[in-house]
Amino acid sequence: MIPKTLEEIANYIVSDGKGILAADESTGTIEKRFRSINVESTEDNRRKYREMLFRSPVMAEAIGGVILFDETLRQKSSDGGYLRNVILDHGSLPGIKVDQGVKELEVGCDEKITIGLDGLHERCQEYEKLGAKFTKWRAVINVSDEIPSDNCISENMKALAEYALIAQQNNMVPIVEPEVIMDGSHSVERCHEVTNQTLLVLFEMLDKKNVNIKGTLLKPNMVLSGTENKYQATIDEVAEKTLQCLKSSVPDELPGIVFLSGGQSDLDATAHLDAMNKIGGFKWKLSFSYGRALQQAALKTWAGEDDNLEAAQEAFSHRAIMNMKAAQGQWNKSLEG
């Protein structure tokens, strides 16, 4: 039974430890990933790779939704049906990335603004007819001692709220993704400060637009040390600081928080999620919406060879199960084998 209402869809995606497979890499990004395994990024290779993931037996158990790129939502599968129907047949829901990337907030500055509001209503109308059940929009917040400015946060959160309302008007759940970027030398405390401010402004803007929070999902970063900071916060510190941040800014009625992995290693992304769920004490579901951290092992195993499809599915299934367990606070390192 496919969920129908916004609230049913949002709750289904994060039910029973399920999370999201982020397979919405742009053409340029997937080309980089394929280059790392010496595979040409043709439409057929992209289809073959993603279809391999979508047909994995683990989908019904661990993946509640799949974020797609425009090409993939329209693409045919190897048997002549649509890839979006392969996802549905495997017990998951197809979704779609609807933002159109970022540009400089002002000429020559390090701050970004996400674009894509022009024509968004019409695109969402089409995506809903094509079978998308949810949508995603990413805002990029860079961090240093000087940035982000209040204006950068405000403009990006305003756009996220505007997008969320348009998605809901078209019967699709909005995933709001305010990503505080981990690149930089900032401390974990600075990341906490910026993430907290960003989320407080986001939910203020969503409230102003009368967005139905019960039919919305949040895709935030975890509170991490900047990649170039010599002190890297421990697993427990990341879990504690992230939860502290979320509890002070996210309303209880939100059905779920699905973290982005943001360049973390596969194991770190799983361990951090598990540590938070072991601490507990929150009303929302705390799960995952990972791209690389779910796909990397499968991509390397596949390496563009048909003979490797089954082994690649096993690699993907393992990571998906590990993250499902983490979303229930039931993971430990010994399960990694």
Over residues 236-278, the pLDDT tens digits come to 999 999 999 999 999 999 999 999 999 899 999 999 999 999 9
Q: Which of 219, 241, 285, 325 is catalytic?
A: 219
145 compared with 337, residue with greater pLDDT: 145
Cis omega before residue 255 (within 30°)?
no
Over residues 135-146, the pLDDT tens digits come to 999 999 999 999
336 classed as catalytic = no
Hey, what are 45's tokens?
Answer: 């290779």
- pLDDT score of 332 more than 90: yes
Predicted confidence at residue 87, as pLDDT, reads 98
Q: What is the DSSP letter of 82?
A: B
Q: If pLDDT is split at 50, 70 and 90, which confidence band does 337 have?
A: confident
219 classed as catalytic = yes
Q: If pLDDT is split at 50, 70 and 90, which confidence band does 150 have?
A: very high
Predicted confidence at residue 242, as pLDDT, reads 98
Q: If pLDDT is split at 50, 70 and 90, which confidence band does 226 have?
A: very high
Which helix (H) or strand (E) segment holds residue 111: the answer is none
Query: What is the C-alpha to C-alpha distance for residues 159 and 165, in angstroms, rounded to an integer?
Result: 10
Query: What is the C-alpha to C-alpha distance for residues 27 and 305, in angstroms, rounded to an integer?
Result: 20
Over residues 283-299, the pLDDT tens digits come to 999 999 999 999 999 99
Helices (H), ranges, 90-226: 120-129, 150-169, 188-208
Q: If pLDDT is split at 50, 70 and 90, which confidence band does 116 have?
A: very high
- pLDDT score of 104 more than 90: yes
Predicted confidence at residue 1, as pLDDT, reads 78
Q: If pLDDT is split at 50, 70 and 90, which confidence band does 336 have?
A: very high
Contact between residue 140 and residue 157 where contact means Cβ atoms under 8 Å apart: no
What do you get for the CA distance between the two ends of the chain, in Å? Answer: 36
> Which amino acid makes up residue 127?
Y
Q: Which of 25, 51, 111, 177 is catalytic?
A: 177
Whole-number average pLDDT of the chain: 97
Contact between residue 164 and residue 174 where contact means Cβ atoms under 8 Å apart: yes
Q: Domains in the chain and their CATH numbers? A: 6-336 (3.20.20.70)
Over residues 19-76, the pLDDT tens digits come to 999 999 999 999 999 999 999 999 999 999 999 999 999 999 999 999 999 999 999 9
